[in-house]
Structure formats: structure tokens, C-alpha cells
Amino acid sequence: MALPLRDDLPTRRVSWVTMVLIGLNAFVFLVLQPPTFQSPFQPGISSARDRIDAVAEQETFTMRWSTVPCEVMAGQPLASAPDGCEKPPSRHISEDKPVYLSLLTAMFLHGSVVHLVGNLVFLWVFGNNVEDRLGRFWFLVVYLVGGLAGFLTFVLAHQHASSPLLGASGAVAAVMGAYLVLYPRARVLTAVATAAAQVVYLPAVAVLGLFFVTQFFTSGDQIAWEAHAGGMAAGALLALAIGLLPSVRRRARTDVDLGLRRAAPTAF
């Protein structure tokens, strides 16, 4: 297991969009999501009835605001019993669910504290430099469009699935894909869990490659590797396209002039 801590690239300005996205994800998890997402052991939940009600609240919230592949394919919620959908994993489904809006709302939900913290660490380490190079508007485009691409990739791979999908992982993977295109020679200070835990500088391509390979080969329903792969591919393609803009090319030349040669884009 490898956890990035920081890279070796300075930035020219404050990464406001990255910080707002981090704050928004944290706010949604801590304030808007039911507290049982943070821990199933909540003060005030003592009786069996209380636990049943808490689980029902969490399932209702999840099924309403997460992305469900067969709902997206059918264009209608599970409550309408669309053809071809698997049996819903929960009876707490909503008749008036905003199906297509859930592709956006699911991007800001997380299933646990570990899920949230992991995504936000990766977003901070890689997002600030991508925002610095592309600019705030285009960075936000990469994040949102990449996240959407991640969800749609998963939807197309599991068209009949009725299990909910949530998390910013696809959007964060898009940022990582863009980072790899823009800064292929960067080095990342990484905590590596081996027989003896150590902190070392690794090439960014190694850190991101390890992330991708891990997602691809990890089995189990908890890892939506298709969403990670779709998001990363979308982020890389968007970075290539946006990198052709005159303003972005000027910032790239400035990076080289400032001596950030590890950040110089690779010629394609």
C-alpha cells in the first residue's frame, strides 16, 4: 500500500478550487449525510428499534442520492420497476428520485471516513498542481467531467445493476490522470507500507500506476475499478486537449523558465 504525502513541485498561486472541493466533500459527509456513515455506533442509538431506524435512514439517503446503473440506463427510478434491473438491495427506494442528477450528487458522497480521507489526500497532493497549470475553471471541468465519465463507465459496464455507487474516486482519478500528462517527471513523497514502513520519493508515474493497477486487480464489490479507470482516462484526455490552449501553454513555458523542468509536459 502506498499513500502520497506531497510532491516536489511548487505552485504559483493558492489552489482555491481544490480547497473548496475538499471542504465541500467534507461538509457533505459530516453535515448532510446521516451520522451512521461516520460510525454505526452513534450516541442515542441504544435500542434495536433505534438501530433499525438508523439503518433505514442511511439506506434511504444512499438509494436516493447515489448513482444506480440500471436507473440511469432506464431513465427512471427503481420504484418504477424498470425492465432489466436486478432486485434492489434495499426496500428504501424513492419514487421521485432525480435519476440523472444523482450522477452529480453521488460524486460528493462517501461511504466511510476512510473512503473520504483517502480521496481528499489524493485530491490535495495532485489537485493543487493540476489547478495551477490548467487554471481554476478548467481544473473544475476536469474534476466534474472526469467524475461523470467515471460513473458512466461503471454504468455501461454494469447496466442491469441496482446497487448504488457513490464517491469522488472517479473525479480524483481524473485529476490524477491529468497530473500524469502534465507532470510526467514529478516525484511524490510517499508512505509505503512494506515489512518496515518507510517514506520515500517515488516517480509520480509509479505512484499513479500502482493506484491504477491496484484498482484493476482488486476484486470485490467495494472497488469500482471501472469508475477509476474511466475517470483517469477522461482526465488524461482532457489535460491533453486543454493543454493546447494558449493560456495553458504560457503557464507551461513559465514552469520551465522557473526551473520546474520535472513539470515540463512530455511531447506527444
Domain residue limits, the chain: 2-263
Closest C-alpha to 77, from 53, 102, 114, 55: 102
Between these two residues, 255 and 13, which has the higher pLDDT value?
A: 13
- In one-letter notation, the amino acid at residue 221 is D
Closest C-alpha to 68, from 45, 49, 87, 48: 87
Distance between CA atoms of residues 105 and 196, nearest Å: 40
Do 127 and 175 form a contact (C-beta atoms < 8 A)? yes
Q: Residue 81: its pLDDT value, please?
A: 79
Which is it for the CA torsion 131, 136, 138, 139, positive or negative? positive
Do 230 and 149 form a contact (C-beta atoms < 8 A)? yes
User: Mean pLDDT for the chain?
Assistant: 85
Q: What is the mean pLDDT of residues 79-107?
A: 89
Q: Which fold has domain 2-263?
A: Rhomboid-like fold (1.20.1540)
Residue 42 has pLDDT above 90, yes or no: no
Between these two residues, 98 and 48, which has the higher pLDDT value?
A: 98
Distance between CA atoms of residues 189 and 168, nearest Å: 23
Measured at the alpha carbon of residue 264, what is the angle toward residues 263 and 268, in degrees to the nearest 5?
A: 130
